[in-house]
Amino acid sequence: MDADGVISLSLFLKRIGGTKVRVYFTSPAQLRDTICHSLLRRRDLGELYIFDMAGEHGALYAAAIYDSVIWIDHHQWDPGIQLPHVKLIIDSGAKSAASVVGKYFGINSPLIDIADQIDMNDVKDENAEKIRLIIGALRWKFFGRELNTKLEKIARQLMSEDFSLLTEYDSLVDEYSKWLAKLEERVKKDTKTFSVKNLKIAFFETTESVPVYIISNVLAERDSFDIIVVLIYKVRRGRTLTKMEFRTHTGIDVLKIAKFYGGGGHKLASGASVNDIVTIPEILNTVDLIY
């Protein structure tokens, strides 16, 4: 559901000449369910392409119901199983999944460098910043099926590599930028910092989805943190769920802590979802235990 995923889709669509396909944007925690949902009431399954997603056994077996699967990713994970018609192309050294998709399909595009910049949180040019803001704004404003449609639309617009098309999002981005400015103020005010085993740890808690790079960048102005933890608490059917995001300014391996909570990602950027409330003291204990 992020810029890397959207750009991966855009490159793929370009490769197949913009043909109509069914597209699902999802998260690692939802991947198996999304695949199962996509299977319903289909006579012919055909090919499934999965981009920019770490998987696990359940998702792999679910995907394997399709006639053939091409799974292209750059997260750090071990599929563990080999299914004959599931082709896994995982390059955990790649800056973006889009760069692996580009290489696989033999596509050269300025979009690949843009995906690299956004996924590494090292945005240098105007178009990369614009695309990051538009996708952030869409995710802030829309959800569910509507968000899915909007993200597919922008992937199709990006196929042209004509970035002047993106002016239609200007007013939405303006509105979103105002919200981002308020978020930055909240981060400055509400971040809690701790030190465990000589590691500087910063926590930001929220009840709404937030772009994690903003929090990491705002905190980088204050200090160099070894672990930045963003805790997003959501209530579903009376139960509190915790979405955790981990980043680092100092190169500490944060994949380790995400894996402890059943998540995954990259060494320098990772996340996990837990069907329960996870508090700051609990996470501090975990850091003490595993680092």
Residues of the shown chain interacting with Mn ion in the complex, contacts defined by CB under 5 A: 4, 52, 97, 119
Residue 106 C-beta: closest distance to Mn ion, Å = 20
CB-nearest residue to Mn ion: 4
Provide the token pair at 150.
């909007």
Q: Which run of H or E residues covers position 59?
A: helix 57-63
Provide the token pair at 145.
């099926």
Pair 64, 48: CB distance under 8 Å: no
Residue 52 C-beta: closest distance to Mn ion, Å = 4
Provide the token pair at 200.
């500087």
Q: Which is nearer to Mn ion, 203 or 265 (CB)?
A: 265
Provide the token pair at 218.
């705002």
Pair 151, 1: CB distance under 8 Å: yes
Residue from 160, 165, 177, 127 nearest 3 by CA: 127
Residue from 252, 287, 288 nearest 269 by CA: 252
Residue 25 C-beta: closest distance to Mn ion, Å = 13
Q: Which is nearer to Mn ion, 191 or 216 (CB)?
A: 216
Q: Which is nearer to Mn ion, 112 or 218 (CB)?
A: 112
Q: Which is nearer to Mn ion, 154 or 283 (CB)?
A: 154
Write the CA distances from 291 to 150, 170, 181, integer angstroms. Answer: 41, 44, 34
Q: Which is nearer to Mn ion, 97 or 278 (CB)?
A: 97
Q: Which run of H or E residues covers position 141?
A: helix 126-141
Residue 79 C-beta: closest distance to Mn ion, Å = 17
Residue 96 C-beta: closest distance to Mn ion, Å = 5
Residue 50 C-beta: closest distance to Mn ion, Å = 12
Q: Which is nearer to Mn ion, 76 or 286 (CB)?
A: 76
Q: Which residues pair with 233 in a beta bridge?
A: 242
Residue 225 C-beta: closest distance to Mn ion, Å = 22
CA distance 148 to 13: 15
The torsion of the CA quartet 73, 74, 78, 82, rounded to 10 degrees, works out to: 30
Q: Which is nearer to Mn ion, 95 or 249 (CB)?
A: 95
Provide the token pair at 74.
């750059």
Query: Which positions ≥6 away from 155 have C-beta within 8 Å?
Result: 6, 7, 9, 10, 13, 23
